Structure 1
């Protein structure tokens, strides 16, 4: 029954696209985030929804879209350079078979992030893409939140639609993305036009934000807790009554403590020290190995180069003996351990050139969103942004989402996460949209100056 329902919904989505081809872009966003092909048993896997919507989105834009206002930005160029470089390293990878498997989805994520801004030329399209992304990932978050409330959750527990530990269905990744979308949900709560922000929208937004905050608790992902702390610090930049905000946040945190399971406390306690946690100790050892590896291989080893690592480290094992605690250091040998950090993932797989491109891509995004935020806030104060009050808050929301991701990515190998690359694509689209507004207003000012300063008759004859 579920398979048939998903199939019918997708077919309806695609059918609407024959009248509005941009809907096929939205269909791909939905399919790539939710992965309905993994949720069915017969129909959905057989039609390959990701490939179907990917081809439809690109063909629809290429054949029917007027392409007015489409621009290729510098950040799209950086992603294109990164795509080509990843293709080259894949051809020279240390582990060709594993590299080819990862390349199958990485190239598609990068290509679509490059392509997405070309299709988004209006506010309605930008908002529609954001809305589909939020609602689709919200479906995963809400269902997992219900299971957390009813069953308590737990580390590596089955909370999702599918029994899969990859992509957004990996617990730490979902916890990070859940916190990422909170600023965007708040933006819809005030500036949305597809669904006007009435009491129903605000009620749903409050419920979705609550579910997002439950994800670090339900998955017991330590990264999610760090991301929440980062978002709260960022929020201090915009709230008017900061002291009240801090007190309210601390009060809510204290009220929630009695309802948290003991396993959550045990898991979060490892944040204070990496010595006694095998996962944290392994990560540090992998990072040290990666630095040594790139010293000898500056261009990286291609996707999944971590499979060549092998190292031995000492980890303290604590045992309670009455009222005392004995500490014994044991040697642990490990191999083929993942990077658990986007920075070291890029460094080990793509070397210094790939890491430089990735850092440039995100640093430029932070700068562009900050520039839009300040410029349009200033214009709003001067009364020059009538009808465009939404731009500065959206730039802020996208910037905060990116910052939360970057902090979370320090402890996860999610350098190529498709959802975040979609956010990057939407940042490029917003930047292009604002540049078009500036160009249009500049032409209007030149035309007004020309009309107010006509050429005298004598000068006109001389010029003739």
Structure 2
């Protein structure tokens, strides 16, 4: 039944796109985040459904969609440069076969993030894209949250839709993305015009946010805990009653701690002392190896260049009790360990030029969202402000918060090219272009021009 339901839903979206081609863009967002072809075991699993929807989304926009309001931004141009550079490093990669396998999905995710802003021309389209992104993440999160409440989860043992610990279904990645999605969920609940705003919509949003908060507990990913802490700090900037909010969050944390699994609290203890945990010590060793590697390979080694590393890790663990405590030192050898950091992933694979481009793209997004937030917040607070200027600043704020959470999670997870994160960049580029266009002097003059009611006049199409 699950297979039939997924198949019917995907083909239903494709059918709806025949009438409204933008739905194919939404279908790609859904397919690329949820990966229903991995959940399916029959029809969708046997079709290149991601490629099919990818082609439909581009074809629909190219042949049918109105392109008069589409704008190409500097940030999209930087993404194009990074895409070309990644293609060049793939051609000269240290591990050509493995690099080609990663390039096969990276180029598609990057091209779509460059293309997405061109399709986001109205408020309705922004809302639709945000809702599909949030609800696609939510579909994964809700199931994981239910299993967490039922069993407590476990590191590497929480099973989501698929028995596949890769992509967004990997524990640390879904923990980071679930927390990053929370600002988008809350914005959609407060500003949606697609669903009626009311108690039911708010209740669902609160329940989904709670489910997102449970995922780091179920996966026992330390990254998720840090992302939750950052979300709390970022929220202080926009809430009206900061001290009440802080008190409520503190009380909630105190109430929740006794109910946390013992295995979760023990794993979180390793944040303070990484040398007591082999996984954390390995990450530091890989980062040191990467810094040495780029001394000889400043342009990077292409995708999966980490496969050439050889590591010797020293771990320290306390032994004994009371006055008879000591430190046990162990040396472990390892090889071909992944970067476990987007920053070192970019540095090792794309070298200093690739890391610079990636950081430039990220920094520009934070700056642009801050400018939009400030400008449209003033517009919304102005006396007599209309209802149609109330959603822009909160959306810029939500996108900025989501990006900051992603950037923090990226310190400890190799997700530089993660599809959901690239979609966030695409929506940011679209919002920047759209708001600059409607706020231009010419657009303001057109909006302010009085409408003439001329008998017998026919509106231009």
- Aligned partner of 1:458 in structure 2 is none
Query: Which residue number corresponds to residue 213 of structure 2?
Result: 213
Shift of 1:321: 6.0
- Residue 222 of structure 2 aligns with which residue? 222
TM-score, normalisation: structure 2: 0.95
Name the CA distance, whole Å, in 1 between partners of 2:25 and 2:443. 32
What is the aligned partner in structure 1 of residue 76 from structure 2? 76
Equivalent residue runs for 1:338-417 within 5 Å: 338-383=338-383, 385-386=385-386, 387-417=388-418
CA offsets per residue over residues 391-428 of structure 1, 9 Å max, x none? Answer: 00000000000000000100000000100100110001
Query: Which structure has the greater CA radius of gyration?
Result: 1
Q: CA deviation at 1:329?
A: 1.9
With over 3 angstroms needed to count, the CA separation of the structure-2 counterparts of 1:201 and 1:319, relative to structure 1, is same
Q: Distance in 2 between matches of 1:248 and 1:73?
A: 41
How far does residue 385 in structure 1 lie from its aligned partner after superposition?
4.9
Q: 2:260 matched to which residue of 1?
A: 260
Pairwise CA RMSD: 1.5
Is the counterpart of residue 92 in structure 1 residue 95 in structure 2?
no
Task: Give the superposition deviation at 1:383.
Answer: 3.8
> Does the aligned pair in 1 maintain the 2:183–2:399 contact within 8 Å?
yes
Aligned to 2:8: 8
1:451 corresponds in structure 2 to none
Taking the aligned partners of 2:113 and 2:371, their CA distance within structure 1 comes to 22
> Which deviates the most, 90-99 or 376-385?
376-385
Relative to 1, partners in 2 of residues 1:402 and 1:395: Cα closer, same or farther, differing over 3 Å? same
Shift of 1:320: 2.1
User: How far 1:45 moved relative to its partner?
Assistant: 1.3
Give the Å deviation of 1:189.
Answer: 1.9
- Between stretches 349-358 and 382-391, larger displacement belongs to 382-391
- Once the two structures are TM-superposed, the CA of residue 144 in structure 1 deviates from its matched residue by 0.6
Aligned to 2:445: 444
Distance 2:69 2:184 in 1: 24
**What's 1:231 paired with?**
231
> Separation in 2 of the partners of 1:388 and 1:347?
41
Deviation at 1:240, TM superposition (A): 2.2
Following superposition of structure 1 onto structure 2, how do residues 154-173 of structure 1 map, counting pairs within 5 Å? 154-173=154-173
Query: In the alignment, is residue 43 of structure 1 matched against residue 56 of structure 2?
Result: no
The offset of 1:325, in angstroms, is 2.2
* 1:288-309 C-alpha deviation (Å, 9 max, x unpaired): 1100100111100000000001
Tell me, in whole angstroms, the C-alpha distance in 1 between the residues paired with 2:20 and 2:168.
Answer: 28
1:68·1:121 contact (CA, 8 Å) conserved in 2? no
Task: Please state how far the C-alpha of 1:9 moved relative to its aligned partner.
Answer: 1.2
Q: Distance in 2 between matches of 1:4 and 1:446?
A: 48
- Normalised to the residue count of structure 1, the TM-score between the two structures is 0.94
* CA distance in structure 1 between the partners assigned to 2:155 and 2:323 by the alignment: 30
Structure 1: segments with no counterpart, 5+ residues: 449-464
Measure how far apart 1:322 and its partner are. 7.2
Q: 2:52 maps to what in 1?
A: 52
TM-aligned CA deviation for residue 314 of structure 1: 2.1
Is 422-431 or 149-158 further displaced after alignment? Answer: 149-158
Unaligned runs of 5+ in 2: 450-461
Contact 1:306 1:336 in 2 (8 A): yes
1:13·1:24 contact (CA, 8 Å) conserved in 2?
Answer: yes
What's 1:454 paired with?
none
Aligned to 1:124: 124
The secondary structure found in structure 1 opposite 2:93 is coil
Contact kept in structure 2, 1:376 and 1:385, CA below 8 Å: no
